[in-house]
Amino acid sequence: MRFKFCGDIEPPEWLLAEVNQLSRITAVRIKLISTIIAKQISENKFDMEKAWKLSSDCGLSKEEIQSALASIHFIFSTAAKFSVTSNVLNDEIGQLGLPLENALALSKTYGDHLNNMQRSLENSFLRVSKVENISWKVDLDLRTKSTDASIVVTTSDLQRHPVCLSAPQLNLLIQELSRAKNLMEKISRPAELN
């Protein structure tokens, strides 16, 4: 069965196994623990002591508590990544077998922190350095009648990246980049409609 919070694929098997651990924690504690996890995702602040205190008397071992925390982190971060609403998340984690009260507590906390988590995840996503400057020149060799284009890209970390291309290579690069751009636009359109 496919789940939107997993990117329209099946959830990992380990998550299915961890639903049992989450079921053993009360809904009130799930809400408090999930708030800590949401803050960890959105603010990179994690109060491990508080998380241990909240989950210590649930009858779970240290490893089971850690896996429950990892499960909540996975659910929140992947759901935020795929822009899943709190209602959809509630339905889907309920379908995984999480009790209704626990699913509601998780999805409510998720909905309250969704915008902050998405903003934080966008900022932490793999990015290349910002381009600060691009300089270029074209050299024409009159003897061989060849044309070479030289481009130097300077990034925000002040590194210079020189690129030298012949005219056919430059044309091919432009075609490939245009094709990649069109493909990316085509792929991103369905996500915008949801």
The answer, yes or no, to whether residue 146 has pLDDT greater than 60, is yes
- CA dihedral (73, 130, 192, 89) in degrees, to 10, reads 10
- CA dihedral (177, 182, 183, 186) in degrees, to 10, reads 160
Amino acid 194: pLDDT: 47
Amino acid 127: pLDDT: 63
Domain 131-193 has CATH 3.30.310: no
Amino acid 94: pLDDT: 92
Amino acid 85: pLDDT: 94
The answer, yes or no, to whether residue 193 has pLDDT greater than 60, is no
Output the average pLDDT for the chain.
84
Specify the higher pLDDT residue, 20 or 93. 93
In whole angstroms, give the CA distance from residue 42 to residue 111: 13
Please classify residue 21 by burial: count the beta carbons closer than 10 Å to its beta carbon, then call 0-12 exposed, 13-18 middle and 19+ buried: buried
Task: Find the range with the poorest average confidence among 10-24, 123-137, 178-192.
Answer: 123-137
Specify the higher pLDDT residue, 137 or 78. 78
The answer, yes or no, to whether residue 185 has pLDDT greater than 60, is yes
Cβ proximity of 106 and 75 under 8 Å: yes
Amino acid 119: pLDDT: 87
Domain boundaries in the chain? 4-124, 131-193
46-98 residue pLDDT tens: 777 777 776 667 777 778 888 888 899 999 999 999 999 999 999 999 999 99
Specify the higher pLDDT residue, 23 or 145. 23
The answer, yes or no, to whether residue 191 has pLDDT greater than 80, is no
In whole angstroms, give the CA distance from residue 6 to residue 24: 23
Amino acid 126: pLDDT: 61
Stretch 140-169: mean pLDDT: 80
Amino acid 43: pLDDT: 85
Amino acid 65: pLDDT: 80
The answer, yes or no, to whether residue 158 has pLDDT greater than 80, is no
